[in-house]
Chains A and B, each alone.
Chain A
């Protein structure tokens, strides 16, 4: 059973508009959440993270929101740029230093149209 779910396999957004990528999880023990971005022929790269003591974390154009009661997090990209076109993976862990227990979603492919 998948503990981290990204139910939208793809998303298309106009350049300059907001991109919202969603992620749901089932394990209430998860306390740390990350987003990774992956370009074709490259490995995933870390983008932004949030711990469960916060409900929002912002880094430039990227903001992650966490709703613990709904077991839901989302990544907002504002404004979206063509270079943001990539696959975005949501990941979660129950402990801060347990990289050996990181659980990933299946990814959402974002296409930003010029």
Chain B
């Protein structure tokens, strides 16, 4: 595998479910990011990890819980989501906190 991979690519979950999104980067980067992309809205930065330490949490509801066990892996744990959380969730990585970021293909999440 090369670049940034994300699994699953598509996810449908009920509001009472618990699920996790996975991201893996094969680029040797130190920083990893979770973004949310909703229709007709800009990409919204959710969480940032730099050298496995969380550096940013942009007022994201606690029903989203990130985990970064090492510099190559990033998870987003989901529980009791709302229909308005349906969106494309993108993972990205970069050298430290460089502006040039490498994105995964995203997970299309639908909350029913």
Residues of A with Cβ closer than 8 Å to B?
A: 2, 4, 9, 32, 34, 36, 41-46, 49, 89, 91, 93, 96-100, 102-107
Contacts and interface: CB of A to CB of B under 8 A. Distances in A.
Interface of B: 4, 31, 33, 40-43, 45, 48, 50, 55-56, 90-92, 94, 96-106
Given A43-B4, A99-B97, A106 B42 contact: yes
A2 B56 CA distance: 19
Contacts, number: 68
A107 B56 CA distance: 24
* Residue with the highest number of chain B CB atoms closer than 10 Å, among A49, A89, A99: A99
A78 to B, nearest CB: 23
Contacts of A98: 97, 99
Contacts of A102: 45, 99, 101
A32 to B, nearest CB: 6
Contacts of B45: 100, 102
B42 A93 contact: no
Contact of B103 (A34, A43, A97): A43
